[in-house]
Amino acid sequence: MKINTSSLTFKIFMAMVLGLFVGLLLRLGVSETTDLVIPLGLFDFSVKAVIVDGFLHAGGQIFINSLKMLVVPLVFVSLVCGTCSLSDPQKLGRLGGKSVLLYVATTAIAITIALTMAIILQPGVGIDAQPQSGFVAKEAPALVDVFINIMPTNPISSMAKGNMLQIIVFALLFGIAVALLGKEGNRIVTFFEDINKVIMKIVSILMNLAPYGVFCLMAKLFTYIDLGAIGALAKYFLLVVVVLIIHATVTYSLILKAFTGLSPVIFLTKMREAAMFAFGTASSSATLPVTLNTATKKLGAHNSTASFTVPLGSTINMDGTAIMQGVATVFIAQFFAVDLTLNDYLMVVITATLASIGTAGVPGVGLIMLAMVLQQVNLPVEGIALIIGVDRLLDMIRTAVNVTGDCMVTCVIAKSENELDETVFNDTSATK
Ligand code: ASP
């Protein structure tokens, strides 16, 4: 296979590897509590303050902020464009129904695989781990509130807070209204289409910053990460990773092939870039501009489908998160020697699937929602403190799976609506 060394994907990958090594090097002298101070005559140079918490921290955060900056305008504008170009008004209901169904079904499959493998492989038996002290479980939001909050009371405040579901609802209503206006709405359609082009242009400009941003994020992460915790929790860690890989490669390939006949290999290859962004940022929400770009420009899904399914997926579809929650629940039950019944497992499947809908696409939220799953089957919430040490790394991997799932479902739905350009999908060099 010929590797294109000038491609962005390659550059991001190299930046990731380089960041990892620089982080491992820096940790020889710097940690949360220690610093490497180099006396320079006139002043002392603190590697921790200047390099790690200074440059690397700033570089990583600027990169993440730049992506987040685009999320709200991008979702709103592209969804309005997608909705007002709908020729068939019933399509929206169909799209909504199909996407929610597929997103929920893939999540339920993910957690079922996770539970089955964890029950067989018993990651929580005979491990020697201590709950991290000082951990206080945050309260997970009540499920009914998750549903009530879908309806915005003030769309400007929804946008200011970045509440994705509320933005989706408002954008859909706005788009439908424009479509219903018919000819009178034409001016606003053109306006939104132009803005959409501008925002997508900003996305491609900012994507070029990714190698630097990812380098900074990885280097800082590996300076501070607790590698010892991974050793102690190796069985749990590896099991989550294996299930994530199985789900992303086997489950997604089977569903894609069965529903669309498209090549899973091409699909997975084209997901590389978005998966790397997700890995680097650990946030499906921050990755959204790249996911949408991948779905439309590389996978060939039409904007009127993708602008709806991708933001929705980045909010409600968290297969990777559900996998972690499934393995973690069995792990914690085994650690505390609690026997779960078949009913309990069923409860875990249902709550974790619903929890995944309520999980925001930002780092670490999956762990907070795990509290809800544990409470449902009467397991000690403090169990979360056992696995928190390895969660950041798992968060990065599961976020990559989350966005892959969003794109897979988008392909299936686009194909079923006759809105998937297969020439673009099959063109391995397609970027535009
Ligand atoms: N970081 C994940 C995401 O953004 C959510 C989680 O599992 O914590 O998709």
Boundaries of domain holding 407: 8-426
As a whole number, the mean pLDDT across the chain is: 88
Residue 52: the pLDDT is: 92
In angstroms, rounded to a whole number, what is the distance separating the alpha carbons of residues 278 and 14?
A: 16
Q: Coil, strand or helix: which one is 129?
A: coil
Average pLDDT over residues 124-150: 68
Residue 252: the pLDDT is: 97
Given a cut of 60, whether residue 432 has pLDDT beyond it is no
- The first and second tokens of residue 56, run together, are 């690397």
Mutate to test the pocket of ligand 1, among 111, 287, 327, 365 (most ligand atoms within 8 A of CB): 365
Residue 351: the pLDDT is: 87
Give the confidence band of 141 by pLDDT, cuts at 50, 70, 90.
Answer: low
In angstroms, rounded to a whole number, what is the distance separating the alpha carbons of residues 352 and 197?
A: 37
Average pLDDT over residues 315-328: 93
Instruction: Ligand 1: list residues with CB < 6 Å.
Output: 282-284, 318, 321, 359, 361-366, 395, 398-399, 402
Task: Out of 24-28, 71-75, 97-101, 428-432, pick the least confident.
Answer: 428-432
> Which residue's alpha carbon is nearest to atom 7 within ligand 1?
366
Ligand 1 centre to CA of 324 (Å) is 10
User: Is residue 261 domain-resident?
Assistant: yes
Residue 270: the pLDDT is: 95
Give the confidence band of 103 by pLDDT, cuts at 50, 70, 90.
Answer: very high
Give the confidence band of 431 by pLDDT, cuts at 50, 70, 90.
Answer: low
Give the confidence band of 139 by pLDDT, cuts at 50, 70, 90.
Answer: low
Residue 230: the pLDDT is: 80
Q: CB 238: neighbour CB atoms within 10 A?
A: 13
Count: domains in the chain? 1
> What would the pLDDT profile of 340-361 be if each residue is shown by its tens digit?
999 999 999 998 888 877 677 7
Mutate to test the pocket of ligand 1, among 277, 283, 368, 397 (most ligand atoms within 8 A of CB): 283
User: Is residue 3 domain-resident?
Assistant: no
User: Is residue 414 domain-resident?
Assistant: yes
Residue 35: the pLDDT is: 86
Residue 367: the pLDDT is: 84
What letters, b where the CB count within 10 A reaches 16 and e where it falls short, cover 394-427?
A: bbbbbbbbbbbbbbbbbbbbbbbbebbeeebbee
Residue 388: the pLDDT is: 85
Ligand 1 centre to CA of 322 (Å) is 10
Ligand 1 centre to CA of 398 (Å) is 7
Residues 124 and 331: beta-carbon distance below 8 Å: yes
User: Is residue 65 domain-resident?
Assistant: yes
Residue 254: the pLDDT is: 98
Q: What is the pTM of this model?
A: 0.86
For residue 33, the 8-state DSSP code is S
Give the confidence band of 227 by pLDDT, cuts at 50, 70, 90.
Answer: confident
User: Is residue 22 domain-resident?
Assistant: yes
Ligand 1 centre to CA of 38 (Å) is 38
Ligand 1 centre to CA of 381 (Å) is 19
The runs of H, that is alpha helices, within 225-341 are 227-232, 234-246, 252-260, 264-270, 272-281, 284-293, 303-316, 319-335
Give the confidence band of 85 by pLDDT, cuts at 50, 70, 90.
Answer: confident
Percent of the residues in the chain that have a pLDDT greater than 70, as a whole number: 94
User: Is residue 2 domain-resident?
Assistant: no
Average pLDDT over residues 135-160: 79
> Which residue's alpha carbon is nearest to atom 6 within ligand 1?
366
Give the confidence band of 67 by pLDDT, cuts at 50, 70, 90.
Answer: confident
Q: Which residues contact 405 (CB under 8 A, 6 or more apart)?
A: 103, 106, 248, 252, 313, 317, 319, 320
User: Is residue 124 domain-resident?
Assistant: yes
Mutate to test the pocket of ligand 1, among 241, 321, 401 (most ligand atoms within 8 A of CB): 321
User: Is residue 431 domain-resident?
Assistant: no
Average pLDDT over residues 155-174: 89
Ligand 1 centre to CA of 261 (Å) is 30
In angstroms, rounded to a whole number, what is the distance separating the alpha carbons of residues 287 and 281?
A: 7
CATH code of residue 73: 1.10.3860.10
Ligand 1 atom with least separation from CA of 368: 8
Q: CB 115: neighbour CB atoms within 10 A?
A: 24
